[in-house]
Amino acid sequence: DAGVIQSPRHEVTEMGQEVTLRCKPISGHNSLFWYRQTMMRGLELLIYFNNNVPIDDSGMPEDRFSAKMPNASFSTLKIQPSEPRDSAVYFCASSLMDFSNEQFFGPGTRLTVL
């Protein structure tokens, strides 16, 4: 299996632009997670889906952030408009919904907003 795939790996954009991050989970996994990692705040869960349905979006910072999972093999995280404080590494992870199963992380997208 190819593992969790994220694109792009690096994104540099200007403040005010729309940014879309993409994730393909491991085939067969039914839970998908979006995390953000910064030096100041560490690793934070933004939102997660079970069976393509958003379960908990309490970590989404504000209305500028939105996430979708139109099918079992694809998810997007969108920031519109982007701000410099959104600069971070964004990880997507997937797992089976079973309680003891670990989450498999993608390589991350390093976002820089100028």
Partner 1 sequence: AQKITQTQPGMFVQEKEAVTLDCTYDTSDPSYGLFWYKQPSSGEMIFLIYQGSYDQQNATEGRYSLNFQKARKSANLVISASQLGDSAMYFCAMREGVTGGGNKLTFGTGTQLKVEL
| Site of interaction with partner 1 (CB under 8 A) | 31, 33, 42-43, 45, 48, 50, 55-56, 89, 91, 93, 95, 97, 99-100, 102-105, 107-108, 110
Smallest separation (angstroms) from partner 1 to the CB of 5: 13
| Complex with partner 1: residue 59 or 81, whichever CB lies closer | 59
| Complex with partner 1: residue 82 or 109, whichever CB lies closer | 109
| Complex with partner 1: residue 34 or 113, whichever CB lies closer | 34
Report long-range pairs for 50-54 (Cβ below 8 Å, ≥24 apart): 50/97, 51/97
Residue among 79, 96, 86 nearest 33 (CA) = 96
Residue 35 backbone dihedrals phi, psi, to 5 degrees: -120, 160
Smallest separation (angstroms) from partner 1 to the CB of 42: 5
Rg (CA), the chain: 13
| Residue 12 in tokens | 């540099």
The CA-to-CA distance between both ends of the chain, in Å, stands at: 36
Smallest separation (angstroms) from partner 1 to the CB of 18: 25
Smallest separation (angstroms) from partner 1 to the CB of 100: 6
